[in-house]
Amino acid sequence: MKSNLKAKSFKTNKNGYLKIVGALVALLLMIIVGILVFWETADSIDLSSADANASKNTTTDMATTVFDLLPIIALAVVASIIIGVIMGFGAGKI
């Protein structure tokens, strides 16, 4: 998944950084909305057997880990932009 290939188009886009900031805010908002939807759904499901509940708890535990890791995507995007700008220092075309 080379999702960052698309980001290369920002070098020819004057409003590229502004779009990235908007996308990051949208991403972070989507994460907390996702958390809201997931837990509301998971909590509304009552399972009858202990085995089923154990499986459900394992799934929700893993989901918690996933939700913890999701915002790191935003962090990585910001880091990649900063690194991209710094790498441009050597271009000498400013």
Partner 1 sequence: MKANKKTKLKNDKTGYLKVVGGLVALLLLIIIGVLVYWETQGSIDSFEAITTTYTEDSDGNTFTQWTGGTGSNSTGEIIKLDNSPDSFTYVRAWNGTGGGTAQACTAGTHYNSNGRYLQIVAGSLDNFTQVNVSYTSNMASSEDTASDMATTVFDLLPIIALAVVAAVIIGVVMGFGSGKRL
CB of 30 to partner 1, least distance (A): 10
CB of 33 to partner 1, least distance (A): 8
Q: Which helix (H) or strand (E) is 3 found in, with range?
A: none
E strand intervals along 1-94: none
Does residue 87 touch partner 1 according to CB under 8 A?
A: yes
Output the CA–CA distances (angstroms, integers) from residue 61 to 24, 65, 87, 89, in the order listed.
26, 7, 40, 44
What is the per-residue binding string for partner 1 in 39-68, x denoting contact by CB under 8 A? xx-xx--x------x--xx--x---x--xx
